[in-house]
């Protein structure tokens, strides 16, 4: 009888230890993380905002946590390919997702994905947001947004705009603009923002919405025309460029924001540790000043606040997708 009780006690102890190790929620577990290189999958092509700030974040986390953080670009299908790879990864904190509001858009734009964002992922932290700028090729006859709208209305379907792919902020900014301005402009999706940007700069495509930090140098060099920015107020980086709201599309607003997620089931201790480390980075005065100078605003939230923010953004874009009639080509 005593041997049986001892055997049962040992089994219970082993089961408890196994469960604790599986959950990994204790402080010691978090303290030891990361014990090997961490991979951050960026489901977008190199050269865009997600890639640039993902590499910045990876470098800073590497410095503070003393372990390698590797950026792995996996573009395609409007971010679905790379995102699905993270959804299928082990929930151990060693595969993370650099995401954007492309993902919150895709919850309604691409409902038949192999994953659902809030079901299959754990929000970690936001990184930053930036307004966009509508730029046109340098040879376009129109020089202002009202002139562009007038020309587009005169010849429906006669102009086109490039984007980095279906569901991306650049695509949705264009669809929202079309709906609110009452114009018909053809959407030309690319595999990433670099290709779209190259063809606008080269004059093959009339226009695109792009992140201000990425496009500013081309605007200042005269390689493209800046017609409007997409924020509530003018950009400090492009103070002479009116907002779309000022320039003829009342109420228009669109932004690009970035964040980090992990596969669902990732130990809360790891999620909280990463959230705290990212908050240190985004709260750093030097980082904030540098990003502001580029037209980017740092974001800092706890895990619960970021989760609420994401749910609200999913609901917002569901309304916009329905209103604009946007489709995933």
Number of C-beta neighbours around residue 152 at 10 A: 23
Question: For 97-125, what is each residue's pLDDT tens digit?
Answer: 999 999 999 999 998 999 999 999 999 99
Question: For 173-223, what is each residue's pLDDT tens digit?
Answer: 999 999 999 999 999 999 888 899 999 999 999 999 999 988 999 999 999
CB 135 within 8 A of CB 198: no
Structure tokens at 189: 């999706």
**Alpha-carbon span 241 to 234, nearest angstrom:** 7
**Same structural domain for residues 28 and 99?**
yes
| Sequence-ordered list of residues with C-beta below 8 angstroms from that of 179, at least 6 positions apart, any chain | 323, 324, 325
**Alpha-carbon span 57 to 68, nearest angstrom:** 12
pLDDT above 80 (res 21): no
**Same structural domain for residues 35 and 80?**
yes
Please give the pLDDT value at position 5.
46
Domain of residue 150 covers 131-229
Coil vs helix vs strand at 73: strand
pLDDT above 90 (res 47): no
pLDDT above 90 (res 1): no
Structure tokens at 83: 């995102």
| Sequence-ordered list of residues with C-beta below 8 angstroms from that of 295, at least 6 positions apart, any chain | 130, 131, 211, 212, 213, 216, 235, 236, 237, 238
Which CATH number characterizes residue 266's domain? 3.40.190.150
Which band of pLDDT confidence, cut at 50, 70 and 90, is reported for residue 6? very low
Which CATH number characterizes residue 221's domain? 3.40.190.10
Which band of pLDDT confidence, cut at 50, 70 and 90, is reported for residue 19? very low
Residue 252 lies in a domain: no
Question: For 230-253, what is each residue's pLDDT tens digit?
Answer: 999 999 999 999 999 999 899 999
**Same structural domain for residues 137 and 217?**
yes
Helix (H) or strand (E) holding 60: helix 49-65
Coil vs helix vs strand at 244: coil
Residues above pLDDT 90, as percent of the chain: 80
Please give the pLDDT value at position 326.
84
**Alpha-carbon span 166 to 168, nearest angstrom:** 6
**Same structural domain for residues 194 and 270?**
no
**Alpha-carbon span 92 to 89, nearest angstrom:** 8
**Alpha-carbon span 189 to 77, nearest angstrom:** 10
Q: What's the number of domains the chain is made of?
A: 2
Helix (H) or strand (E) holding 225: strand 224-229
**Same structural domain for residues 125 and 262?**
yes
Range scoring the smallest mean pLDDT among 25-34, 130-139, 255-264: 25-34
Please give the pLDDT value at position 133.
97
pLDDT above 80 (res 33): yes
Based on C-alpha coordinates, what's the Rg of the chain?
22
Please give the pLDDT value at position 41.
98
Residue 102 lies in a domain: yes
Question: For 270-306, what is each residue's pLDDT tens digit?
Answer: 999 999 999 999 999 999 999 999 999 999 999 999 9
pLDDT above 80 (res 26): no
Structure tokens at 33: 């993380």
Please give the pLDDT value at position 27.
56
Residue with tokens 């200042």: 220
Question: For 118-168, what is each residue's pLDDT tens digit?
Answer: 999 999 999 999 999 999 999 999 999 999 999 999 999 999 999 988 888
**Alpha-carbon span 11 to 34, nearest angstrom:** 30
Question: How many CA within 13 A on the CB side of residue 42?
Answer: 22
**Same structural domain for residues 214 and 263?**
no
Please give the pLDDT value at position 191.
84
Please give the pLDDT value at position 12.
43
pTM of the complete model beyond 0.85: no
Structure tokens at 241: 């460029």
């Amino acid at each position: 009888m005593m041997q049986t009780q001892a055997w049962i006690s040992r089994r219970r102890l082993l089961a408890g230890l196994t469960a604790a190790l599986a959950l990994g929620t204790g402080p010691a577990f978090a303290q030891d993380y990361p014990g090997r290189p961490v991979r951050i999958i960026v489901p977008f092509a190199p050269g865009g905002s997600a890639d640039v700030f993902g590499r910045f974040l990876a470098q800073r986390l590497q410095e503070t946590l003393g372990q390698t953080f590797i950026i792995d670009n996996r573009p395609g299908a409007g971010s679905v390919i790379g995102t699905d790879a993270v959804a299928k990864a082990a929930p151990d904190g060693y595969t993370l997702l650099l995401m954007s509001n492309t993902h919150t858009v895709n919850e309604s734009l691409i409902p038949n994905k192999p994953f659902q964002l809030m079901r299959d992922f754990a929000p970690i932290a936001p990184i930053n947001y930036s307004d966009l700028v509508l730029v046109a090729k340098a040879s376009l006859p129109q020089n202002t947004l009202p002139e562009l709208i007038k020309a587009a209305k005169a010849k429906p379907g006669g102009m086109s705009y490039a984007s980095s792919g279906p569901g991306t902020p650049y695509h949705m900014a264009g669809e929202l603009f079309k709906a609110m301005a009452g114009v018909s402009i053809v959407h030309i999706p690319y595999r990433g923002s670099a290709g779209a940007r190259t063809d606008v700069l080269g004059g093959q495509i009339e226009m695109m919405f792009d992140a201000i930090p990425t496009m500013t140098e081309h605007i200042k060099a005269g390689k493209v025309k800046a017609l409007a920015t997409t924020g509530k107020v003018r950009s400090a980086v492009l103070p002479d460029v009116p907002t779309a709201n000022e320039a003829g599309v009342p109420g228009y607003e669109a932004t690009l924001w970035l964040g980090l997620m992990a596969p669902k089931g990732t130990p809360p201790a790891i999620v909280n540790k990463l959230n705290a480390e990212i908050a240190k980075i985004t709260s750093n005065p030097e980082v904030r000043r540098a990003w502001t100078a580029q037209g980017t605003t740092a974001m800092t939230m706890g895990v619960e606040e970021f989760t609420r923010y994401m749910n609200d953004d999913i609901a917002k874009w569901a309304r916009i997708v329905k209103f604009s009639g946007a489709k995933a080509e």
